[in-house]
């Protein structure tokens, strides 16, 4: 999907494009969208992690720039060095910056040096004994075991008792190795009742600028589902502090290009989480509220444009160690992104990538609606790759209008052979919650908005974690929702269920 996004901007800038593809990905739309396409040896993720093959493709096509997108080699410092050594321009931060912020312990140290608050954590790659010792020091409070490299919610487990540590440690290491090529993990204190906010930063040393912030609190098992820009639940003072911290940190590490600084926010306090030195999946909402093309910014910086030549808006910026500006970048209304994933959910509630052929694919359209997707009718979806199928972005001048636009975007329908998107239903339920509509500071988890798919048709009781005041007495009746292979519940007579929401069960 990100390859299509990059090709679109490059085409608008009259830059010829070359796509690479694995043997089992030859029918992917990005292969046909590029001016030239070169096959990589092998299948699946391994093909896209073959740095030597990608450099060989660059040489064969006489390419000058290599854009890594997100995922795969986008945060790999060795790949960035290999690009530079081969005479190519890596579209992203320097290898030294990737190495620094890609190691979460080193990034935490950089945050401390910049005066940004952090949570207590173990240092560097941590052994099982280190994490047991750290948990004991927390006096019974929960901790998070995390992959030392990478991001995206992979290689993370919450631990609430000492008996969970061994299994969580092994699971995190097992997830981190194939995802990031590094099984190292560390432990960090767990901050409950916090929201997940991030600041988009652009840098051309010695300058950095905060382009805006995003609320990514609606998640399913540490995977973001809904992103909102700008955040609607923080004060001007807190927004200013977040932007200042992000620009100061990025200027301190010498950022060139784009990066996202992520924070956990509780009331008026915040702590540093991590830095993602690449374009994010949710870059779309920042583009919609700023009017900027972030991929074009990346290409301009890679092409040697100076900070003043980028045409950036006014906002909170930093030059070396001096922060300037007192007002955040002005946002044009509000934008909401909803992710549509091709997934299935087991009876135990585990989410698995789905495989099959898209027989129907009808994205929404209309004023203020943007859809970034590689989906099309007849496309075969492979379980070997990330399950993200589409991103539906709605933008309107104010929150009520954006919420109406998000409801209109729910008309997006896709039906796949033995594949369906349960996370899409989680997102729709999230939009209907009182918490979302009132833009309160209460954290919203999609696990509270969507039941297990095997839940009985009749829902009784109040789901854990929700105030009873936000519920009303409704009863649901399941009716067919054709052509999708789902039963949609509709209101009938009183019974306990979340206000304005609906629940689904598979037929």
**Residue numbers annotated as active site:** 278
How far is residue 400 from each of residues 172, 174, 395, 438, 499, measured CA to CA in Å?
A: 40, 43, 11, 10, 17
Q: Quote the tokens at residue 188.
A: 């960090």
At residue 433, the 3 state secondary structure works out as: coil
Between CA 345 and CA 135 the distance in angstroms is 32
Rg (CA), the chain: 23
Q: How many beta carbons lie within 10 A of that of residue 52, not counting itself? A: 10
Between CA 444 and CA 30 the distance in angstroms is 35
**DSSP string of 72-136, one letter each residue:** TTTT-HHHHHHHHHTT-EESSS-HHHHHHHHSHHHHHHHHHHTT-----B--SS--HHHHHHHHH
DSSP 420: B
Between CA 209 and CA 247 the distance in angstroms is 6
How far is residue 175 from each of residues 39, 132, 224, 275, 342, measured CA to CA in Å?
A: 27, 20, 18, 20, 20
At residue 229, the 3 state secondary structure works out as: strand
């Amino acid at each position: 999907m990100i390859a299509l996004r990059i090709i679109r901007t490059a085409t608008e800038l009259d830059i010829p494009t070359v796509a690479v593809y694995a043997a089992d990905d030859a029918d992917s739309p990005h292969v046909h969208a590029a001016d030239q396409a070169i096959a990589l040896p092998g299948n699946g993720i391994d093909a896209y992690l073959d740095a030597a093959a990608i450099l060989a493709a660059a040489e064969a096509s006489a390419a000058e720039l290599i854009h890594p997108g997100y995922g795969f080699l986008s945060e790999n410092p060795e790949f960035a060095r290999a690009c530079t050594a081969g005479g190519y321009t890596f579209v992203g931060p320097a290898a030294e910056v990737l190495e620094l912020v890609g190691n979460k312990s080193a990034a935490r140290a950089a945050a401390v040096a910049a005066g940004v608050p952090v949570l207590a954590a173990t240092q560097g790659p941590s052994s099982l004994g280190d994490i047991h010792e750290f948990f004991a020091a927390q006096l019974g409070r929960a901790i998070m075991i995390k992959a030392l490299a990478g991001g995206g919610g992979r290689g993370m487990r919450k631990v609430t008792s000492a008996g969970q540590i061994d299994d969580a440690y092994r699971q995190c290491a097992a997830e981190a190795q194939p995802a990031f090529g590094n099984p190292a993990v560390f432990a960090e204190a767990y901050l409950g009742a916090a929201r997940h906010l991030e600041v988009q930063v652009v840098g051309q040393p010695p300058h950095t600028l905060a382009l805006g912030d995003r609320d990514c609190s609606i998640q399913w098992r540490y995977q973001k589902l809904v992103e909102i820009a700008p955040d609607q639940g923080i004060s001007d003072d807190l927004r200013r502090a977040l932007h200042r911290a992000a620009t100061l940190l990025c200027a301190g590490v010498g950022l060139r290009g784009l990066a996202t600084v992520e924070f956990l926010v509780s009331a008026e306090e915040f702590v540093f989480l991590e830095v993602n030195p690449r374009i994010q999946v949710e870059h779309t909402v920042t583009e919609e509220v700023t009017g900027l093309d972030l991929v074009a910014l990346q290409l301009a910086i890679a092409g040697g444009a100076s900070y003043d030549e980028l045409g950036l808006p006014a906002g909170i910026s930093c030059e070396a160690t001096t922060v300037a500006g007192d007002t955040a970048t002005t946002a044009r209304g509000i934008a909401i992104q909803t992710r549509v994933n091709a997934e299935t959910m087991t009876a135990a509630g585990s989410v698995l990538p789905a495989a099959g052929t898209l027989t129907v694919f009808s994205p929404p359209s209309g004023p203020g609606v943007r859809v970034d997707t590689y989906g099309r009718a007849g496309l075969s979806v492979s379980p070997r790759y990330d399950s993200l199928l589409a991103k539906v972005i709605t933008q309107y001048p104010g929150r009520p209008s954006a919420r109406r636009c998000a409801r209109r975007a729910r008309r997006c329908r896709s039906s796949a052979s033995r594949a369906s998107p349960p996370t899409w239903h989680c997102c729709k339920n999230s939009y209907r919650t009182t918490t979302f509509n009132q833009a309160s500071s209460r954290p919203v988890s999609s696990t509270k908005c969507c039941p297990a798919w095997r839940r009985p048709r009749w829902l009784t009781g109040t789901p854990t974690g929700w105030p009873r005041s936000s519920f009303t007495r409704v009863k649901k009746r399941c009716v067919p929702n054709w052509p999708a292979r789902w039963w949609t519940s509709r209101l009938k007579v009183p019974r306990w269920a979340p206000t304005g929401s609906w629940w689904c069960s598979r037929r």
